[in-house]
Structure 1
Amino acid sequence: MGLLVVGGTAFRVWQVARVDDRDRADVVVVLGAAQYAGRPSKVLEARLRKAKTLFEQGVADHVVTGGGRREGDRFSEAEAGKRWLVDHGVPADRVIDVGEGNDTLGTIKSVAGVVLGKGWATAVIVSDPWHSLRARTMARDAGLDAWTSPTHSGPIVQTRETQAKYILRETAALLYYRSTHASADRIAIDQEVG
């Protein structure tokens, strides 16, 4: 039975990763990833490029960047994301940075609070493909009507070995979240993606 649950969850992680839903929404939400002195990491930049494309295609009128700061950082992941988007042509008044949360769950809860507080309800989540199912699940649990449009570029999707690693990692993280409704960082799963 356990193998069926794990195998079925891994299949859903893989399946949802392949779905690129660009239906109209209130906001595009970019989940944070590492930044260095205000400069997005390659993982975060791939997410920001995807969000910019969605914004330009009219999927949503606003982009929300999420993610807090690590100890010693001058910028939050959200601030670095907003700066990148504005520097690349997205109007500053169309980007909302939510600089709270140092893991997926904390970021999603903070973003949902801001989005719902503005009277919006629908969101397209941009993250890495393998992270999509867990991010969508958490967003829905936080009260958002959410779907995903994952990035298909960047270091996390380049090799089959890397993809397999992240599918296994996300399978464990999603099973942990579903059983505890707690952040997966407690089991060292959620350090890079979030």
Structure 2
Amino acid sequence: MTTACRSARSWSRREDEVVLRWLTRLLALVLVVALAVPLFTAGVVVATGEVDGRRASDVIVVLGAAQYDGRPQPILQARLDHAAALYRAGLAQHIITVGGRRKGDRFTEAAAGRRSLRQDGIPASALVAVGKGSDTYTSLRAAAEEMDRRGWCSALLVSDPWHLARSRAMAADFGMRPATSPVPDPPITGTAANARYVIRETVARLYYGAVQAPATKSLVGGCG
């Protein structure tokens, strides 16, 4: 074997080693990012839910949840009770309830929420039921459209703690100026249940950011 051949093979091996080294580093970086992004997002979900960011707003927006024949179920009722307390504290002069009607229901989530708040002594003039939406995205879009019609800009969002990071991101993209106030004692008990909720909201927040968010800002006028 000539010296030239040996040198060429040695150089080729060194090239292969360099390429392999860079591929290994690239793979490690991809793995770090793949772990870091969900962990960071989960941290945002938890941190948002642990901070009561209430501030005076044009309207309180109560995110919908299950109701049965016009009677809010525990999760929705806890949200409504908190919204009523915020209203009485003077944080806003109006409350929007959102949520549509599921198949077979006689009432929308929004109508059930409004009815409960009226029974709790909140004046009818302060209540707006927006009976549209089958999920957080479509419900907040409907709320944003209603706010846009009425010239309202700022919204105080009320929901379960772990639900608020995604809700706030959506509301901001729809043109609202959102603040959040989590339900202080949501009827979601147990470490396992809360962990599942955080995981579900983390995945949903990542999906929203990757798929829905890019097209959201153009859908509603908002306040800029």
Tell me the TM-score normalized by structure 2: 0.79
User: Which one-letter code corresponds to 2:95 in the other structure?
Assistant: V
Matched to 2:36, the amino acid is L
Structure in which a larger fraction of residues adopt helix: 2
1:4 aligns with 36
1:95 alignment partner, one of 127, 131, 152? 127
Counterpart in the other structure of 1:59:
91
RMSD after superposition = 0.8
Instruction: Give the partner amino acid of 1:146.
Output: P
Question: In 1, distance between residues paired with 2:202 and 2:186?
Answer: 20
Q: In the alignment, is residue 168 of structure 1 matched against residue 210 of structure 2?
A: no
2:160 corresponds in structure 1 to: 128
- Pick from 104, 109, 115 the counterpart of residue 77 of structure 1: 109
Displacement, 1:22?
Answer: 1.8
- For residues 56-109 of structure 1, the C-alpha deviation after alignment (integer angstroms, 9 at most, x for no partner) is 000000000000000111100000000000000100110000000010000000
2:181 corresponds to 1:149: yes
Query: Which of 157, 170, 184 is matched with 1:138 structurally?
Result: 170
Quote the offset at 1:43 in angstroms: 0.3
User: Where does the alignment leave 5 or more consecutive residues of structure 2 unmatched?
Assistant: 1-32, 214-224
Q: Which has the larger radius of gyration?
A: 2
Amino acid in the other structure paired with 2:120: H
Unaligned segments of structure 1, at least 5 residues:
183-194
Q: Secondary structure at the match of 2:198?
A: helix
Residue 147 of structure 1 and its aligned partner are, at CA, apart by 1.2
Greater relative contact order (CA < 8 Å, ≥ 6 in sequence)? 1
How far apart, CA to CA, are the structure 1 residues paired with 2:108 and 2:53?
28
CA distance in 2, matches of 1:30, 1:165: 22
Q: TM-score, normalised by structure 1?
A: 0.92
CA positional deviation for 1:15: 0.3
Runs of 4+ with deviation above 3 angstroms: none
Counterpart of 2:144 in structure 1 is 112
Residue in 2 that maps onto 1:19: 51
Q: Percent identity?
A: 46
Question: SS of the counterpart of 2:146?
Answer: helix
Q: In the aligned structure 1, how far is the partner of 2:114 from the partner of 2:87?
A: 13
The superposition leaves residues 10-40 of structure 1 with CA deviations (integer Å, 9 ceiling, x where unpaired) of 0010000011122100000001000000000
